[in-house]
Amino acid sequence: MTRNTVIGDKRVLAADFLPNRMVHRGQERQEIADALRPVLEGERPRNVLVHGPPGTGKTTMARYVVDRLEEHIDLQYGFCNCWRNSSRFKIYYRLLNEMGSRMIHRTGTPTDKLVDDFESKVRNRPSVVVLDEVDQLEDEKVLYDMTRYNRTGLIMIANQENVFYDLDERIRSSLSSRKNVRFSAYTHEEIVDILRDRRQWGLRDGAVEDELLHRIADTVSGDARVAINALRIAAEKAEKEGLEQIPEEFIDDALPEAEELTETESLDKLNSDQQALYEILRQEETLRPRELYDRYRSKVEKPKVDRTLRNYLSEMEKYGLVESRGQGTGTEYVLTD
DNA sequence: AGTCCACTGGAACTTGAGGAAT
DNA sequence: ATTCCTCAAGTTCCAGTGGACT
């Protein structure tokens, strides 16, 4: 193992690294912490909806606030991404595992059993649940459930503020007392500060000039995730070539790469069949359904039946990855851009 | 207008995993 | 060990919709 030239601590350069202080977002942090504070006194906390565009620190902040709370109190904490786990069963399954449940629950366990276990788990101990990408939730009854647990703080994370508009009246009213916290895109200076912070803890001294951080901030339009990814990609390349400083053109090369990386990270959320469909559409621009199914069948080893593909595609449509145009015989599938 | 065809999506059904009861 | 049960995921079946073509 040779001595690193550029990178000090690689973990710090990951976009989802949880820093021990959050630069900026002081106001937002305060609002979330205030809403959850009653948990410390064993009282009912206020639900929180954190909303804003991608890469604005919503998820990181939620984890950060919970981390700080855990310093004061013995807390049960469950995090669940509702994109990956969209059904009621999967969410409870996930949360129970996150909270270190000793009981093993598998696909055969009735959902009600999971709900019961969860309920008894959070009844007497303060808990916080974070539901990320809550707009992807399939069964909104979960939200109703969560508001019933008196000592459980609920942080919901979404891109849009209006996620609850078309919900059932009962569920909406149970969420009506929530606190909305808006995260807007970072300003140029804020992005630079965030990058400086990562530089300080993640890179060696003198590894990258301020000027280059500004260059990154210029292109990422307020998305810290893309910015950090770009810095990491450039740093890794410099490291590989044994340089002591990141050259300007490495940054320029890394920027489009970082944009793409952030995009494909969302493709990880698709199953392999959906990825195959996505891949086909990417090569073909637009396709009629019949044609799409045919190509899919010749591409994968164990093809699923057409009806299942339709389910997959409508799911992908919900995520905003594909789009179907026209009706009847004129239907075409195309990737959204 | 009538026929054909591609496509959609609801609903019933099958399969497979795995816990619980015996 | 065996049988029974529940659930999610996938499949089968099919009626309905609406272009396209005569």
Distances (CA, A) of A197 to A7, A13, A118, A178, A223: 14, 10, 39, 32, 16
Work out the mean pLDDT of chain A and round it to a whole number.
87
| A306 CA: nearest nucleotide by C1' | C11
Question: Is there contact between A271 and strand C, defined as CB under 7 Å from any strand atom?
Answer: yes
Spatial contact of A176 and A49, defined as CB atoms under 8 Å apart:
no
Per residue in A281-336, pLDDT (tens digit) is 988 878 999 999 999 998 888 899 999 999 999 888 877 788 888 877 788 898 87
Q: Average pLDDT of A93-107?
A: 72
Gap between the terminal Cα atoms of chain A: 43
Q: CA A34, C1' B12: Å apart?
A: 50
Query: Which residue type occupies A116?
Result: D
Question: Is there contact between A87 and strand C, defined as CB under 7 Å from any strand atom?
Answer: yes
Q: Average pLDDT of A151-168?
A: 86
Whether the per-residue pLDDT at A186 is higher than 90: the answer is yes
Question: Is there contact between A54 and strand B, defined as CB under 7 Å from any strand atom?
Answer: no
- Confidence band for A104, pLDDT divided at 50, 70 and 90: low
Bridge partners (DSSP) listed for residue A322: A335
Tell me what pLDDT residue A213 has.
96
pTM above 0.85, yes or no: no
Chain A 301-320, CB < 7 Å to strand C: 304-308, 311
Tokens 């145009």 sit at which residue? A325
- Confidence band for A3, pLDDT divided at 50, 70 and 90: low
Percent of chain A at pLDDT above 70? Answer: 95
Spatial contact of A189 and A214, defined as CB atoms under 8 Å apart:
no
- Confidence band for A188, pLDDT divided at 50, 70 and 90: very high
Q: CA A116, C1' C2: Å apart?
A: 29
Using CB atoms within 10 Å of the CB of residue A185, give its burial: 0 to 12 exposed, 13 to 18 middle, 19+ buried: middle
Q: What is the CB neighbour count within 10 angstroms for residue A84?
A: 14
- Confidence band for A1, pLDDT divided at 50, 70 and 90: very low
Query: Which letter does DSSP use for residue A44 in this model?
Result: P
- Lowest mean per-residue pLDDT among A64-73, A129-138, A286-295: A129-138
Query: Which letter does DSSP use for residue A315 in this model?
Result: H
| A106 CA: nearest nucleotide by C1' | B18
Q: CA A194, C1' B19: Å apart?
A: 49
Bridge partners (DSSP) listed for residue A51: A158, A182
Whether the per-residue pLDDT at A266 is higher than 70: the answer is no
* Distance (Å, whole) CA A104 – CA A304: 30
Q: CA A307, C1' B11: Å apart?
A: 13
Residues 6+ apart with CB under 8 A from A245: A6, A206, A207, A208, A209, A238
Residue A322 in tokens: 């594909």
Distances (CA, A) of A327 to A288, A309, A333: 11, 17, 11
Tell me what pLDDT residue A62 has.
95
